[in-house]
């Protein structure tokens, strides 16, 4: 589904991803952890071409991130993204937010778009809130609408960038539950998070990124129970 081949991403003189090689298969639930500034968000943002890479190759579902604008547009359709800040359209209801992608991107008719949106709001447990504006929803509810909005474009892959970091602890659970359900349904997911327990329970794979390198790549339960380096052990101690 995703393949990085010697990918370098820099901002000016700062190399943030340093010749990263990584292959992610369909159905994998990959968690990215690592210190602040290590390049986790950048890696995620390269996948849906929010960032352009300096060298190497990046292939998403057979499409090149260095390809034509049509290819890049297709990658963005296939890779849905959920951010820390939910980024909903404030002047649109939950339903309208979720209908936006089908209407504008997939060119669905209004009736079809509304049916898709209502289905997805039900899936994230928000049928009752369809007519509410973002300002009338809790942070957890807004994030669930944001997930529904991404799913409405029928992505093949979901990217999550610290989706619960802006939420109070009691609201995180409802978002994690929706993510767990998606994982159970077989969605391919790449998740940047500090929720180590969640990564251990739900992840099929854990990557520890340090200074632009993937330092460890393995089974979440094993890596977390027996960190193979001082670097990972220290990081885990710090965030726990």
Q: Which residues would be at the binding site for ligand ATP (CB under 6 A)?
A: 11, 16, 34, 36-42
CB of 40 or CB of 205, closer to ligand ATP: 40
For the bound state, the minimum distance from the C-beta of residue 189 to ligand ATP, rounded and expressed in Å, comes to 17
Nearest CB to ligand ATP, comparing residues 16 and 121: 16
User: How near is the Cβ of 159 to ligand ATP at its closest, in Å?
Assistant: 12
- 87-126: b (≥16 Cβ within 10 Å) or e: ebeeebbbbbbbbbbbbeeeebeeeebbebbbebbebbeb
Distance CA 48, CA 190 (A): 11
Task: Please say which residue, 48 or 97, places its beta carbon nearer to ligand ATP.
Answer: 48
Q: Least distance in Å: CB of 112 to ligand ATP?
A: 37
Least distance to ligand ATP from the beta carbon of 97, Å? 25
Name the residue nearer to ligand ATP (CB basis): 95 or 199.
Answer: 199
At a CB cut-off of 8 Å and minimum separation 6, what does 92 contact? 100, 133
Q: How far is the CB of 203 from ligand ATP (least distance, A)?
A: 17
The answer to whether 159 and 81 have CB atoms below 8 angstroms apart is yes
Edge to edge, what strands does the sheet with 205-210 contain? Answer: 79-82, 157-161, 188-192, 29-33, 205-210, 213-218
Of residues 34 and 134, the one with the C-beta less far from ligand ATP: 34
């Amino acid at each position: 589904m995703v393949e990085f081949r010697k990918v370098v991403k820099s901002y000016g003189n700062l190399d943030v991803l340093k010749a990263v090689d990584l292959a992610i298969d369909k159905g994998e639930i990959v968690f990215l952890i690592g210190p602040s500034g290590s390049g986790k968000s950048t890696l995620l943002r390269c996948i849906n071409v929010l960032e352009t890479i300096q060298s190497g190759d990046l292939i998403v579902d057979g499409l090149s991130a260095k390809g034509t604008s049509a290819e890049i547009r297709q990658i963005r359709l296939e890779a849905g993204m959920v951010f820390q800040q939910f980024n909903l359209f404030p002047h649109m209801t939950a339903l309208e937010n979720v209908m936006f992608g089908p209407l504008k991107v997939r060119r669905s008719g209004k009736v079809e778009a509304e049916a898709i949106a209502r289905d997805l709001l039900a899936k994230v447990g928000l049928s009752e809130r369809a007519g509410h504006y973002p300002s009338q929803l809790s942070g957890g509810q807004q994030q669930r609408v944001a997930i529904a909005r991404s799913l409405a474009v029928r992505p093949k892959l979901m990217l999550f960038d610290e989706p619960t970091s802006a939420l109070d602890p009691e609201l995180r659970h409802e978002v994690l539950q929706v993510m767990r359900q998606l994982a159970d349904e077989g969605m391919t997911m790449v998740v940047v998070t500090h929720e180590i327990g969640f990564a251990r329970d739900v992840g099929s794979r854990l990557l520890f990124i340090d200074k632009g390198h993937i330092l460890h790549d393995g089974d979440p339960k094993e890596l977390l129970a027996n960190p193979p380096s001082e670097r990972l052990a220290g990081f885990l101690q710090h965030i726990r």
